Structure 1
Amino acid sequence: MFRPLSIFIGSRYTRAKRRNHYISFISLTSMIGLALGVLAMIVVLSVMNGFQKEMSARILGMVPHATLVGVQPLDDWRAVASKAEANPQVLAAAPFSELEGMLSYKGAMQSVQINGVDPQEEPKVSIIGEHIVQGRLDDLKPGGFGVVIGEITARRFRINVGDKLTLIIPEASSAPGGITPRMQRLNVVGVFKVGAELDGNLALIHVADAAAMQRMQPGQVQSVRLALKDLYQAPQVAAALAGQLGQGYRASDWTQTQGSLFSAMKMEKTMIGLLLLLIVAVAAFNIIATLIMVVADKGGDIAILRTLGATPGQIMATFVVQGSIIGVIGTSIGVVLGVIAALNVSSLVGWLERISGQHIFSSDVYFISNLPSELQGADVLLIAVAALSLSFLATLYPSWRAAQIQPAEALRYE
Structure 2
Amino acid sequence: MKVIVLGAGIIGVTSAYQLAKSGHEVIVVDRQEGPAFETSFANAGEVSFGYCSPWAAPGIPMKAIKWLFMQYAPLILRPKVDVAMLCWLVRMLSNCTSERYAINKSRMLRLADYSRISLAALRAETDIAYDERMQGTLQLFRTQQQFDASGKDVKALAADGIPYEVLDRDGCIRAEPALAHVRDKIVGGLLTPKDETGDCFKFTNALAKKVEELGVRFAYDTQIKGLDVAGGRVRSVICDREILRADAVVVALGSYSSLLLKPLGITLPVYPVKGYSLTIPITDASRAPESTVMDETYKIAITRLGDRIRVGGMAEISGYTNDLGQARRRTLEHSVTDLFPGGEVSNASFWSGLRPMTPDGTPVIGPTKITGLFLNTGHGTLGWTMSSGSARVIADLVSGRKPEIDATDLAISRYSG
Does the TM-score normalized on the shorter chain lie above 0.5?
A: no
Structure ranking higher in helix proportion: 1
- TM value normalised by structure 1: 0.21
- Structure number with greater Rg is 1
